[in-house]
Amino acid sequence: MSISDWFPIYLTLKVSLTATSLTVVIGLGIAWVLAKKRFWGKNLLDALLMQPLVIPPTVLGYYLLVTFGRGAWLGRFLEENLGLTLIFTWRGAVLAALATSLPLFIKPARAAMEGVDPHLENAARLLGRSELGVFRAITLPLAWRGVLAGVMMAFARSMGDFGATLMVAGNIPGRTQTVSIAIYDAMQAGDVGVANTLVVIMTVFSISVLLLVGWITAGRY
């Protein structure tokens, strides 16, 4: 494999790490709200957030295109005010990875937070802690296994996205070509050696992540 053949691995790691970081920041808040708050429309919000798990990735990609594309209000706003172009850039791949991995993070994180005894959180409030203080001192430390499992799942998912990434970021070698797309490209070009190497790397990585998640979530206080 040439140096340029390794670029998809570099890009995939960059996209996954960025997307996972964003997933954690956004997902922790959402998971906490879904786990601890009662409000009108909660089930609908939950259903919407879980959509990326069930709709075809190309459909998700389409939604992202029409929302963040240059023709869309939001896409124009981001480009004109923040200079942020998402479509057909590596940031677009981050957006696609974020959308697909967010529900995978929220699900275990929410379940873990729901499992934290409300008595403990109330005890912390009575001992003078603010809501953020309760979250940091009690909820998160007691839900960390579920949260970490969510991080791992989100990271693994954002490493492997194909459909949504292709729709939003395209397939530009050296710019937006991630490992999944590079494998497809290599197979199309008959470059079985590159495809095999990338497939083995991805498979080993995915199995490792799942083993790690299993190991982490097995322990109990």
Partner 1 sequence: MLEFDLSKSYGGYSLHVAEQVADEWLVLLAPSGAGKSLLLNLISGLTRADGGFVRLDGETLYDHGLGINLPIRRRRIGYLFQDYALFPHLTVEQNIAFGLPPGQPRDAAVRHWMGFFQLAGREKSYPGELSGGQQQRVALARTLASQPRLLLLDEPFSALDRRIREMLYREVGQLKKQLSLPVILVTHDFVEAQLLGDRVSVLQDGRVLESGPKDLIFAHPQRHETARFLGIGNVLPATVSVGGGADSAADPMGEGGIGKDETVTVRLGGLSFLVRSERRFANGEAVFLCIYSADVRLLLDNTRRPNAVVATVLRIHPQEGTNRLTMGLHDAGGGTAVELETLVDDYVLSRHGIGTGQTITLWLPEDKLFLTT
73 binds partner 1 (CB under 8 A): no
Would you state the structure tokens that stand for residue 216, as one six-digit string?
Answer: 């982490």
- Looking at 3, 44, 126, 218, which residue binds partner 1 (CB under 8 A)? 126
User: Are 179 and 74 spatial neighbours (Cβ–Cβ below 8 Å)?
Assistant: no
Which residues, other chains included, contact 86 with Cβ-Cβ below 8 Å and sequence gap of 6+?
Answer: 68, 75, 78, 92, 95, 168
Is residue 127 part of the contact set for partner 1 (CB under 8 A)? yes
Binding mask 128-147 for partner 1 (x = CB under 8 A): xxx--x---xx--xx-----
Which of these ranges, 70-78, 85-93, 113-121, 207-215, lies near partner 1 under the rule CB under 8 A? Answer: 113-121
Q: Is 106 in the site for partner 1 (CB under 8 A)?
A: no
Largest CA distance in the chain: 66
Nearer to partner 1, 111 or 137 (CB): 137
Q: In Å, how far are 70, 187, 199 from 5, measured between CA atoms?
A: 31, 13, 13
Please report, as ranges, the residues that interact with partner 1 according to CB under 8 A.
Answer: 117, 119-120, 122-130, 133, 137-138, 141-142, 221
